[in-house]
Structure 1
Amino acid sequence: MTREEVEVESYLSTETMMKELQTLLKELPYVYRLINDNNPIITQITADSREVKAGALFCCVKGYTVDGHDFAKEAYAQGAVALLVEREVLDVPIVQIKVNDVFRVLSFLANALYSYPTNDMHMIGITGTNGKTSVTYILEEIFKQNQARTALIGTIQMKIGEKSYPIKNTTPEPSYLFNSFRAMKEAGVDHCMMEVSSHALEEGRIRGIDIDIAVFTNLTQDHLDYHPTMTDYRLAKERLFQQLGNRYDPQYPKYAIINGDDPYADYFIRATSQPVVTYGLTKTSDLYASDIKLSATKTQFTLAGMVSDVTITSRLIGRFNVYNMLAAAATALKSGVPMSDIKAALESIPGVKGRFQSVQTTRDYSVIVDYAHTPDSLKNVLETVQTFTKGKIYCVVGCGGDRDKTKRPLMAHVGETYSDMTILTSDNPRTEEPEAIIKDMEQGLETTDYVIEVDRKQAIHRAIDLAGPDDVILIAGKGHETYQIIGRETYPFDDYQVAHDYLEQRLGD
């Protein structure tokens, strides 16, 4: 266990959360059967046998590659006092709760053990293909400006106040989530922003979370290695809005905040029974931006519609960030934050790690790192770069292995279309051969005017070597990530640091 994981484990300790099993089961609305009837004290709920501690209820979840029932004996040996199962596990002499769907029941029991923590917090769930992370961090700044206590869960990390913790998935599994929410509640958090992935919605990882505001950013091709079609992908995202419920409570209102300019907007509007607030770049939206002026160092626009016209000058660059700021502003307004605090936050936020992040250099060209890993997000970023580039644009881009293969030629095509030179390289190849991934990408190219450099570090160096005065280098795909997955191993790798170190090295050339 790493030092960071130890810190998380310590902060999210379940020692103070103890309930008799029978007490928990009284709150369970599902039919179940007890095997080896007993009433132990439950101090932890987990589906990961490696995390089991004394007093644990171990949940035998059937996964895609492993079956939790096969780890029940190991969990018992480590101190588990009860099992949640779909079939009886022989030779494990502890109480077993047999249900039809372990993963579904897990959410209810974890929620009950940690005393329904999201019922007393303002929960904001953000979904969409692009922009989720940026919107969570913009909201964090807005709520801080409003003197509120915040927490967030997302792609980069989990934060509770000013403390940060590593995270395994954009949206973690239920027992970890509810334990985290309990820690947030104890820390006095007012607002929690969480990114909600389509995988999490499809698998039911957010069941039982009392979402107050659901935000939709956009929908473009991604994750078609997991979802059979774009329709399936969209339907998974829609569940967040369906789960806002059908009841309207004027004392505790819920809202759906939706990008009105997105082609899929109407689907998400129809998916919810709650009041809808739209945002966009035209007056047809409830909150809209007009008079947009973009440059290499700032973005200026007028915020209008729900509020009297307000001019915003922000260091967040690009039209896509205007959408992110609109989403955050609409959410904050419906959370009761005054426009003065929203304006102050939008104008003070410096940026989000790995999102259009400039690598500081004394050279007469620019280097930008961005997480763009879908065709649409890469197009948006390159279009923004085009608005201020006087020289050439170099695009370093790769695609992940064991993921949606259909977007590989699309990514390369976008790079070729919107930059002067595309350098194809590795992203996280995982168990695929990097050369094979690049061959898939090449299918989207119409010319031979591109470079292949399989080693990502060398690809970044190559782009820097090629750049001249007024040029811009975009290093796309990994953004905030500080690792590269090759085979089944994870190695340290940070696009920003690699570029920064090479730029420093070249100062001595």
Structure 2
Amino acid sequence: MKTITGLLERLDYRVIDGSLDGEISALVYDSRKVTEGCMFVCIKGAAYDSHEHTEEIAAAGARVIVAERPVKVPEGVTLVLVDDSRYALALLSAAWFDYPAEKMKVIGITGTKGKTTTTFMVKGILEHAGYKVGLMGTIEIIIGEEHIPACNTTPESYFIQEYFARMVEAGCELCVMEVSSQGLMMHRTAGIPFEIGIFTNLAPDHIGPNEHASFEEYAACKGMLFRQCRLGIANIDDEHFHMVLDGHTCELETIGFSEAADYRASNMELIGRPGYLGVKYHVSGKLDMDVEIDIPGRFSVYNSLVAIAVCEHFKVSEDDLKAALRVVKTKGRIELVKVSDDFILMIDYAHNAMALESLLSTLREYHPKRLVCVFGCGGNRSKLRRYEMGEVSGKLADLTVITSDNPRFEEPQDIINDIKIGMEKTDGKYIEICDRKEAIRYVIEHGEKGDVIVLAGKGHEDYQEIKGVKYPMDERVLIQEVLKELSEK
């Protein structure tokens, strides 16, 4: 139980009806979860607006209703008006859970690409140095030994605060979390006193009817993080650096290859040998050390520079930094799976044209004998994505194997046919194998010495969604099944 006035202590509000005396039993924003004596926060969603159902919500037991506009409530129910109910929900949730973010250091990472990998890098290094670290991101929420699958990159504010509270209870000293532009725009992270905010990069993405109205809005939402953190760490090489950091109120440090960067990478060298792709470089500026990481590509340099800069603020030793960077991995992000001494096989989440182009361009720099790309596209999603991904793979891969992803309520062959429209704009060679396991079998059986083979699109996912049902399907399991079956031939 919490007092009503205690929950409202950090909000600007007006009481329209009723009294603020007494306590409430729960904080709720889902009309299906109303309980007797709760405070209910009305949210206007894309398809449902609980402002229009306040009489039923009150009848179900709500004692206090928080809303953005005057609504009908019966006598005895308190009506509180706020300017923005999503913002209110964030601050009410923090109060409900006793402000857990103030009991640890929170590190927030925003950007179009690199959030997930950088989050795991920061967590890995800090844990190697002896800190207890919680994580919240696209793949999962990690609280001690507990791993909770994630639904959104940045959860709703109530769940963020609940996870924070559980992290504090589990003894976490820090939390590192991905902060999406949607999460910032919808105030899911409002009221969080970020110790460090991080900007990785920015490219056009998430622009559409239910996301951002324009690229400028997208950039502005990313920039909100840097008016809510003590220290900002940002990629100075990104062409939109000044756009995102405009109006920042935090201290600022920079990373990049630029001479102006506080943590500057130089002498980058790609390392490729049988079964291994990596990169090494030198850091200068606020630190002077050589680094090698077991993840390929220039973008891995950026991700690791951010992690290094963050960890400098937690007094991590150079030896701990180097050791942790050599072993840190992120499930489904350039995840190498050992199947042969002759060729390299990896799993990556690249599931749109921009991510696939970045991945394949990076791997091209290692001069493989052949670059082989296995991918499909999700059903009930934009056809444009299928054309674009087909065209990207056709241009950059030596061989594309078009297969099934999550067909959802579409026929897999229809999706494959759309991908082929993009492929046929190029001279790229391709074959189609609808069954994903059979596609994996094909590339393993036909792998040649010096090949780099990418299974793209599924990444960390361990299911395949068909006609509303999620069936178990983990590419790591499929690979092992194929290897076992081949060995028994």
2:2 maps to a residue whose letter is K
Aligned partner (choices 478, 485, 490) of residue 470 of structure 2: 490
Q: Secondary structure at the match of 2:422?
A: coil
Q: Does 1:188 align with 2:164?
A: no
**Counterpart of 1:170?**
153
Q: Does 1:290 align with 2:266?
A: yes
Determine the C-alpha separation between the residues in 1 that align with 2:233 and 2:384: 30
Give aligned-pair identity as a percent. Answer: 35
Aligned partner (choices 287, 300, 308) of residue 307 of structure 1: 287
**Counterpart of 1:14?**
none
Q: Does 1:499 align with 2:479?
A: yes
Determine the C-alpha separation between the residues in 2 that align with 1:442 and 1:228: 30
Q: Which moved more, 1:272-281 or 1:337-346?
A: 337-346
Conserved in 2, the CA contact under 8 Å of 1:107 and 1:208?
yes
Determine the C-alpha separation between the residues in 1 that align with 2:241 and 2:395: 27
1:48-95 Cα deviation digits (max 9, x unpaired):
345555654232312112233567677668765443344535579754
Determine the C-alpha separation between the residues in 2 that align with 1:455 and 1:52: 44
Q: Secondary structure at the match of 1:444?
A: helix
Determine the C-alpha separation between the residues in 1 that align with 2:124 and 2:292: 15
Q: 1:408-419 counterparts in 2 under 5 A?
A: 408-419=386-397
Q: Does 1:278 align with 2:254?
A: yes
Q: Which moved more, 1:484-493 or 1:273-282?
A: 484-493
Q: Does 1:326 align with 2:305?
A: yes
Q: Name the TM-score, length of structure 2 as normaliser.
A: 0.88
Shift of 1:129: 1.4
Conserved in 1, the CA contact under 8 Å of 2:192 and 2:228?
no
Determine the C-alpha separation between the residues in 2 that align with 1:294 and 1:423: 27
Shift of 1:158: 0.8
Determine the C-alpha separation between the residues in 2 that align with 1:229 and 1:100: 24
Q: Secondary structure at the match of 2:246?
A: helix
Aligned partner (choices 336, 344, 359) of residue 366 of structure 1: 344
Q: Secondary structure at the match of 2:194?
A: coil
Determine the C-alpha separation between the residues in 1 that align with 2:284 and 2:432: 46
Conserved in 2, the CA contact under 8 Å of 1:173 and 1:205?
yes
Q: Secondary structure at the match of 1:136?
A: helix
Q: 1:376-455 counterparts in 2 under 5 A?
A: 376-388=354-366, 390-403=368-381, 405-431=383-409, 434-435=412-413, 437-445=415-423, 446-447=426-427, 449-455=429-435
The 1:456–1:72 alpha-carbon spacing in structure 2 relative to 1, beyond 3 Å, is: farther
1:474 maps to a residue whose letter is V
Determine the C-alpha separation between the residues in 1 that align with 2:386 and 2:202: 18
Q: Secondary structure at the match of 1:28?
A: coil
The 1:409–1:76 alpha-carbon spacing in structure 2 relative to 1, beyond 3 Å, is: same
1:437-485 Cα deviation digits (max 9, x unpaired):
4455444332363233444444333433443343232011221111233
Q: Does 1:84 align with 2:66?
A: yes
1:88-145 Cα deviation digits (max 9, x unpaired):
3557975443445322211121122222222332111101111111111111122113
Aligned partner (choices 10, 23, 34) of residue 17 of structure 2: 34
Determine the C-alpha separation between the residues in 1 that align with 2:21 and 2:247: 42
The 1:93–1:266 alpha-carbon spacing in structure 2 relative to 1, beyond 3 Å, is: same
**Counterpart of 2:49?**
67
**Counterpart of 1:5?**
none
Determine the C-alpha separation between the residues in 2 that align with 1:433 and 1:30: 51
C-alpha RMSD of the superposition: 2.9
The 1:448–1:294 alpha-carbon spacing in structure 2 relative to 1, beyond 3 Å, is: closer
Shift of 1:150: 1.0
1:176 maps to a residue whose letter is F
Q: 1:82-231 counterparts in 2 under 5 A?
A: 82-85=64-67, 86-89=69-72, 94-225=77-208, 226-231=211-216
Conserved in 1, the CA contact under 8 Å of 2:397 and 2:428?
no
Shift of 1:384: 3.5
Q: Does 1:238 align with 2:223?
A: yes
The 1:67–1:489 alpha-carbon spacing in structure 2 relative to 1, beyond 3 Å, is: farther
**Counterpart of 1:47?**
29
Determine the C-alpha separation between the residues in 2 that align with 1:423 and 1:207: 44
Determine the C-alpha separation between the residues in 2 that align with 1:438 and 1:381: 21
Determine the C-alpha separation between the residues in 1 that align with 2:86 and 2:336: 42
Q: Secondary structure at the match of 1:130?
A: coil
Determine the C-alpha separation between the residues in 2 that align with 1:428 and 1:260: 37
Determine the C-alpha separation between the residues in 1 that align with 2:414 and 2:157: 36
Q: Secondary structure at the match of 2:152?
A: coil
Conserved in 2, the CA contact under 8 Å of 1:372 and 1:479?
yes
**Counterpart of 2:237?**
261
**Counterpart of 2:457?**
477
Conserved in 2, the CA contact under 8 Å of 1:222 and 1:407?
no
Q: Secondary structure at the match of 1:311?
A: strand
Q: Name the TM-score, length of structure 1 as normaliser.
A: 0.85
The 1:210–1:26 alpha-carbon spacing in structure 2 relative to 1, beyond 3 Å, is: closer
Conserved in 2, the CA contact under 8 Å of 1:57 and 1:82?
yes
1:402-446 Cα deviation digits (max 9, x unpaired):
555544433222212221112233333445555554455444332
Structure 2 alignment gaps of length 5 or more: none
Q: Secondary structure at the match of 1:169?
A: coil
Q: Which moved more, 1:370-379 or 1:75-84?
A: 75-84
1:210 maps to a residue whose letter is P
Shift of 1:326: 0.6
Determine the C-alpha separation between the residues in 2 that align with 1:34 and 1:113: 22
2:456 maps to a residue whose letter is A
Structure 1 alignment gaps of length 5 or more: 1-17, 245-253
Conserved in 1, the CA contact under 8 Å of 2:54 and 2:73?
no
2:239 maps to a residue whose letter is P
The 1:451–1:54 alpha-carbon spacing in structure 2 relative to 1, beyond 3 Å, is: farther
